[in-house]
Amino acid sequence: MRLALPPPRSIRRRLILQLLVVAALLAMLLYFSIRSVARDAVETTQDSVLGAATTAIAEQLRGSVDGVEIDILYSAFSMLGSISEDRVFYRIIVADQTVTGYEDLPVPTETAPLLTPIYYTRNFRDTQVRIAAVIRAILVGRTSVRVQVLVAQTRQGQEAIVATMANRGAALGLGFFAVAALLSLLTANTALRPLNYIAGAVGRRGPQDLRPVTQEAPSEMVPLITSLNGFIARLRGALSRTETFITEAAHHIRTPLATVRAQAEIALRQTEDADTRQTLHRMIRAIEDSSRSASQLLDHATVVYRTDQRANERFDLGDLLRGVVRSLDPTADLKDLILATSLPDDALTIEGDRLLIESALRNLIDNAIKYSPADNRIGISLIRANESAMITITDDGRGIGSLATGDLVGRFKRGGNVADVVGSGLGLTIVDEVATAHGGTLDLQNREGGGTCVRFSLPLL
Amino acid sequence: MRFLLVEDNVDLGQSVQKRLAMDGHAVDWAQDLHSAQDHLGVASYDLILLDIMLPDGDGRDFLAGHRRAQRDTPVIVMTARSAVSDRVALLDIGADDYITKPFDFAELEARCRAVLRRRGGAAQTRQAFADVIFDPLSATLTIDGDTRELRNRELRLFEILVAAPGRIHSKAQLCDRLFSFAETVTDNAIEVYVGRLRKKLVGSRARIETVRGVGYRLTDG
């Protein structure tokens, strides 16, 4: 079962995004500061030239007995032409009256000491102009007259210079951003490398590997690894407690059952009373039933657990089959059943979980012994069939009636003709699950003339 | 056969001892590993029946130590577990066989016999009755130098009869010991095996007498 997880939030993506935002902000800051520095520098240059020109014109003014002599110093305007092709305006105000120049050129809103230029920017005739204003006092006769000189210049040239420098700033900002983006990518990858390394090391582990993580990690990841190791330890503890519990439970249930069974057998030996004997028989059968079910449930749990584990090894199937037959021989012998085994001379190597396959074979042969009448023969053969190793087990028992393989392998499903034989209905489930887990097949059929033929095949290596 | 039973559960120990004694086996019973070592120091046994969870240790460690010390008394482990991995592990550390609790005594005996046969067997298990030499390990009857093989049920039937010559065994009693409780059989099923055994005894003085309405007994002559 898979849990529906929220869409993963990538640390790497977030890290890169944050670094990029910072880089973009820095790039913009760079652009704006270059532009503002450029503007300041250009303005200062223009101001000083404007101021010098204005002062020069103001200083050319001469007072006479009846007025002010105005002698425009045209060289002063040529100073202005040296910085750009911008238009120049002027206005000279003597005692609040414009005597020459543009009457509408705005005057400054503040006053300044004499002969000290003040600068301001105004809109004039649909364009922005930078204006320098200088005030001078001139003696006309005996009266001191206030003379104001204004010189203005449009700012196109200045704007062009600022724009050029701002463009360079923008290019520099973009370049900075590109380098920063590249670096942030590298940084994100480097920063996340230990995380990926440890994730890989844990991911590659076998399923039974519950050792703590010991890979070296940067100090920031130590809390994560510590809690991961804590979790692994708790998991290991839980698994071992479960195992201990099952062992203890099996011990505490099976030991008294064994006592009851032994006592029942003893009692059976000591009585001739038919009713008592029947009771004891039933008791022993019930004990066999419960102990068999317990075994099969445990085996089934083991099969399910180990199927997930895939503890694969290579081995000779003939060897394994020989061992299983040998261990079941005494059981078969009790019913005078002969386990007639025919094995190939050469090894049939398969790859799989040895214990699971042993469990499957044991179940199949055990079934054949259970359902065979006494004094019979159970045929067990192993052959190579194309790319498979095929084990065939034949008995002279009651067969499987009208059922198909699929009907018999379900959990707790038993044939309709076996009510008198002790069984849990899990044996064939185990065999089928083992076959499926190994890419093999299980097939049960009635034999002509009675009995069952079971074919269990596993792919050869 | 002479058994050393190592089992800490008093009820089970007593039952197993009593049940095996009924079949004519001698059983020494040790309740822990320490006392098992003491028994092994002073007596020799045909077989050790070993429990795994014991108060003073793990039966598997005892088994491993037993094998390391090169002692070759066969060991059958009585395990309360049945997980597949467990069974294999037991054989790997040197158990000759194992049996899962609760167990069928007939199966236990069959496994003991199989182990002893594999190990080359002890000759003293042979018994003589009248002019018949009975070897349960090789499952043979020898009459006048003529050896006849017995099937398992014939063997067990003769074993029961020869253990108490002259005593009458009821059909029901014989059925209980010959057939598994999982099988459904009528008391008359025993007649088949009595008939077969009589054939194997042809030519000897030993006879299986039918006591009408009661059962069978083995007589000499």
- CA of A227, closest CA in chain B: separation in Å? 32
- Assess A254–B contact: CB distance below 8 Å, yes or no: yes
H or E stretch including B30? strand B26-30
pLDDT tier at B120 (50, 70, 90 boundaries)? confident
Give residue-wise pLDDT tens across range B17-67: 999 998 888 999 999 999 999 999 999 999 999 998 899 999 999 999 999
Do both A454 and A384 map to the same domain? yes
Chain B positions touching A370 (Cβ under 8 A) are 182
In a domain? residue A94: yes
| Among candidates B15, B106, B172 on the partner chain, residue whose Cβ is nearest the Cβ of A263 | B15
Kindly state whether residues A61 and A137 are assigned to the same domain. Answer: yes
Confidence of residue A4 (pLDDT cuts 50, 70, 90): low
Which residues sit opposite A458 in a β-bridge? A389
Which residues of chain A are within 8 Å of residue B8 when distances are taken between CB atoms? none
Which residues of chain B have a Cβ shorter than 8 Å from any chain A Cβ? 9, 11-12, 15-16, 18-19, 22, 53, 78, 80-85, 88, 97, 100-107, 110-111, 113-114, 151-153, 170, 172-173, 176, 180-184
Which residues contact residue A236 at a Cβ distance below 8 angstroms, ignoring those fewer than 6 apart?
Answer: A210
Q: How far apart are CA A100 and CA A390, in angstroms?
A: 121
Q: CATH homologous superfamily for B2-119?
A: Response regulator (3.40.50.2300)
CB atoms within 10 A of CB A300: 18
> How would residue A291 be classed by pLDDT, with cut points 50, 70 and 90?
confident
Average pLDDT taken over every residue of chain A:
86
Which CATH number is A28's domain given?
3.30.450
Residue of B nearest to A331 (CA): B107
Residue B100's φ and ψ, nearest 5 degrees, are: -90, 130
The shortest C-alpha distance from B106 to chain A (Å) reads 8
Evaluate whether residue A169 is within a structural domain.
no
Whether residues A301 and A342 share a domain: the answer is no
pLDDT tier at A16, thresholds 50, 70, 90:
confident
| Same structural domain, A299 and A399 | no
How large is the average pLDDT for residues A269-280?
89
Which residues, numbered 230 to 249 in chain A, qualify as contacts with chain B under a Cβ-Cβ cut-off of 8 Å?
247
Say whether both A233 and A141 belong to one domain: no
> Quick one: B117 exposed, middle or buried, by C-beta within 10 A (0-12, 13-18, 19+)?
middle
CB contact under 8 A, B80 and A255: yes
Contact B45, B71 (CB under 8 A): no
User: What ipTM was reported for this prediction?
Assistant: 0.87
**B125-220 is a CATH 1.10.10.10 domain:** yes
Best of A304, A336, A366, A418 to disrupt the B interface (most B CBs within 10 Å) is A336
**pTM of the predicted model as reported, rounded to 2 decimal places:** 0.67
Q: Residue A180 domain-assigned?
A: no
**In a shared domain, residues A268 and A331:** no
Q: Report which listed range, A20-24, A69-73, A303-307, B34-38, is most confident.
A: B34-38
What letter does residue B113 receive in the DSSP assignment? Answer: H
| Same structural domain, A248 and A389 | no
The answer to whether the CB atoms of B11 and A336 lie below 8 A apart is no
Evaluate if residue A86 carries a pLDDT over 60: yes
Cα distance between residue A374 and residue B192, in whole Å: 11
Whether A259 and A363 map to the same domain: the answer is no
What local confidence, expressed as pLDDT, does residue A184 receive?
A: 86
How many CB pairs below 8 A link A and B?
A: 128
pLDDT recorded at residue B147: 94
Same domain, A273 and A287: yes
Say yes or no to pLDDT of B216 above 60.
yes
Residues A111-125 have a mean pLDDT of 87
Q: What is the pLDDT of residues A405-418, one digit of tens each?
A: 778 887 777 777 77
Q: Which residue of A259, A298, A325, A353 is the best one to mutate when testing the B interface, meaning the one whose CB has the most B CBs within 10 A?
A: A259
Neighbours of A296 (CB within 10 A): 20
- Domain co-membership, A299 together with A236: yes
Top-confidence range, A194-203, A407-416, B166-175: B166-175
Same domain for A450 and A363: yes
Average pLDDT over residues A410-439: 82
Spell out which residues of chain B touch residue A329, defining contact as CB-CB under 8 Å: 114
Strand partners, B142: B133, B147
Residue A179 domain-assigned (yes or no): no
Claim to verify: residue A246 and residue A278 sit in the same structural domain = yes
Tell me which chain B residue has its CA closest to the CA of residue A251: B80
Question: Is residue A35 one of the residues assigned to a domain?
Answer: yes
Which position has the higher pLDDT, A199 or A453? A453
Tokens standing for A403?
């059922």
Structural domain tally of chain A? 3
pLDDT of residue A1: 46
Sorted by where each begins, the domain ranges of chain B are 2-119, 125-220
Query: Is A355 in contact with B85 (Cβ distance < 8 A)?
Result: yes
Query: For residue A340, what are the domain limits?
Result: 313-461
